């Protein structure tokens, strides 16, 4: 069954060229039931990645373009009066999909952002006093341009913490870009993608992730990593327990992608930059973009064995 994971990542890699690492992390994020934040400049393939993921995983897909005048109702849905039945009928918003792409999330106002973020945390939405469950699985990919761009509302730390991983795609390698320029565009290929997984299969895989063995040695390693962030002078604050839980879950998912029944330190190291990069802030960096280098220092300075 785990072979399908390889097929799935291979399929996505054919659309998003030369980004194997990011694709694997994104797949691991879905397996660990986490939400994904992709932060990069426009045109780097953020949307392509999310659409490809949705297709390959066989999930229903909705895209919400966040703008500064977006209202919470535009995300969650509204009740409309039906003249025939004489009652209000709820028209579900785009959030009622299995994979939601919240594009350019930092362009919306905090009020609208929090509507989405609440749904992410609770797995349900409350509109007009009625609580409605969101589909299962429910997976949000948010994209944003680098936070300090003009006209944006950057996500506060508490909301960043809701995302299991933050990825940055980066420029493609010249070879990959050459293929891109020579052949069909990624978008065109997207339509040819066939679902590799069914929803049931995905849920089964997600259920298997917590079964992956994490030995005491691995738990200790994660504790050392987390403790270092809490005690180091370089970090403005340490990692939360939610972060350490997320780190373990992501490492398990990564081990599953590696087709291994247990976690080894390399799994933790593979997911660590993506999991903690957006949760750390260097104490001498008010803008908060130093998380990546802090994660790298953690990897180098905390003994793995």
Partner 1 sequence: MSGHALIPRNSLVWLLTAQIVALMPHLPRLPLWVAGLWLGCAIWRVQIQRMRWGYPGLPVRMLALAAVTLGVYLAQGTLIGLDAAVMLLLMLFMLKLLEMRKPRDALVVIYLGLFIVATAFLFDQSIALALFQCFSLLVLVAALVGLQQTPGRNDPARAMRTGGILLLQAVPLMLVLFVLFPRMGPLWAVNTPGQQARTGLAESMAPADVAELARSAELAFRVAFDGAVPAQPQLYWRAMTLTSFDGRRWSQSPLASGSMPRNWVPQGEPYRYQVITSASHQPWVFSLRGASSDDERLLLNRDFILQARRPLSQGMAYRATSYPDSLLEPQELEPLQRQLSLQLPEGMDPRSRAFADELRQQHPDDAELLQALLSHFNREPFHYTLRPAPLGRHSNDEFLFDSRRGFCAHFAGAMTFVLRAAGIPARVVAGYQGGEVNPRGNYVLVHQFDAHAWVEAWLPGQGWISVDPTFQVAPERIEQGLQEALQGEGSFLEGSPLTAVRYRNIGWLNNARLFWDDLNYQWQLRVLGYQSDRQTEFFRRWLGSADWQRIGLVSLVIILLCMLPMAWWILRPARRQLNRQGRAWLKLNRRLARLQLQAATGEGPRAWEQRLLLALPGQRVEISRFFDEYVRLAYASRQPGGGGSPQLERRLCALLRALPRSRPPRPITLAGLPDGESGR
Give, in order, the Cα–Cα distances in Å from 136 to each of 55, 90, 96, 119. Answer: 16, 20, 10, 12
Q: Are 186 and 301 in contact (CB under 8 A)?
A: no
In this structure, is the dihedral angle defined by the CA atoms of residues 50, 55, 56 and 57, taken in order, positive or negative?
A: positive
Interface with partner 1 includes 265 (CB under 8 A)? yes
Residue from 10, 237, 242, 286 binding partner 1 (CB under 8 A): 237
Interface with partner 1 includes 158 (CB under 8 A)? no
| Contact string 17-56 vs partner 1 (x = CB under 8 A) | ----x--x--------------------------------
Helix (H) or strand (E) holding 76: helix 72-76
Residue linked to tokens 């785990």: 2
Residue from 123, 133, 210, 261 binding partner 1 (CB under 8 A): 261
For partner 1, give the closer residue by CB, 131 or 303: 303
CB 148, min distance to partner 1, A: 22
* Candidate segments 80-88, 191-199, 256-264, 286-294, binder of partner 1 by CB under 8 A: 256-264
For partner 1, give the closer residue by CB, 34 or 58: 34
Residue from 117, 218, 243, 256 binding partner 1 (CB under 8 A): 218
Interface with partner 1 includes 291 (CB under 8 A)? no
Interface with partner 1 includes 288 (CB under 8 A)? no
**In the chain, what's the furthest Cα-to-Cα distance?**
69
226: number of Cβ within 10 Å: 20
CB 139, min distance to partner 1, A: 22
| Contacts for 199 with CB less than 8 Å, ≥ 6 apart | 57, 58, 59, 98, 137
Residue from 178, 187, 230, 242 binding partner 1 (CB under 8 A): 230
Counting DSSP H helices and E strands in the chain, the numbers are: 13, 9
DSSP sequence for 55-72: HHHT--EEEEE--TT--H
CB 127, min distance to partner 1, A: 39
How far is the C-alpha of 185 from the C-alpha of 168, rounded, in Å?
21
Interface with partner 1 includes 302 (CB under 8 A)? yes
How far is the C-alpha of 131 from the C-alpha of 208, rounded, in Å?
29
* Total of residues contacting partner 1 (CB under 8 A): 34
Q: Are 97 and 109 in contact (CB under 8 A)?
A: no
Interface with partner 1 includes 10 (CB under 8 A)? no
Q: Are 99 and 55 in contact (CB under 8 A)?
A: no
Interface with partner 1 includes 217 (CB under 8 A)? yes
Residue from 10, 82, 177, 266 binding partner 1 (CB under 8 A): 266
Per CB under 8 A, residues contacting partner 1 are 21, 24, 213-218, 230-231, 233, 237-238, 254, 258, 261-266, 269-270, 272, 283-284, 298-305
């Amino acid at each position: 069954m785990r072979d399908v994971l390889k097929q799935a990542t291979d399929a996505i890699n054919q659309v998003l060229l030369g980004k194997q690492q990011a694709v694997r992390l994104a797949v691991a994020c879905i397996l660990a039931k986490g939400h994904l934040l992709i932060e990069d400049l426009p045109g780097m393939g953020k949307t392509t990645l999310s659409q490809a993921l949705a297709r390959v995983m066989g999930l229903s897909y909705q895209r919400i373009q966040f703008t500064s005048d977006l209202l919470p109702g535009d995300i969650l849905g509204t009740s409309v009066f039906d003249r025939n039945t004489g009652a209000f009928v709820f028209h579900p918003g785009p959030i009622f999909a299995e994979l939601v792409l919240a594009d350019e999330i930092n362009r919306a106002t905090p009020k609208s952002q929090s509507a989405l973020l609440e749904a992410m945390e609770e797995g349900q939405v409350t509109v007009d006093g009625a609580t409605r469950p969101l589909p299962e699985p429910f997976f949000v990919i948010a994209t944003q341009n680098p936070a300090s761009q003009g006209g944006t509302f950057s996500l506060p730390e508490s909301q960043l913490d809701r995302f299991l991983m933050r990825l940055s795609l980066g420029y493609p390698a010249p070879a990959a870009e050459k293929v891109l320029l020579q052949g069909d565009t990624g978008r065109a290929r997207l339509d040819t993608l066939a679902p590799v997984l069914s929803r049931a299969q995905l849920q089964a895989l997600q259920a298997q992730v917590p079964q992956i063995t994490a030995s005491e040695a691995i738990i200790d390693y994660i504790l050392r990593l987390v403790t270092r962030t809490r005690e180091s002078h370089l970090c403005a604050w340490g990692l939360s327990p939610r972060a350490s839980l997320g780190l373990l879950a992501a490492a398990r998912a990564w081990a599953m992608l590696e087709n291994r029944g247990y976690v080894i330190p390399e799994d933790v190291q593979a997911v660590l930059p993506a999991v903690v990069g957006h949760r750390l802030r260097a104490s001498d960096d008010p803008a908060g973009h130093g998380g990546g280098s802090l994660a790298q220092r953690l990897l180098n300075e905390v003994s793995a064995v």
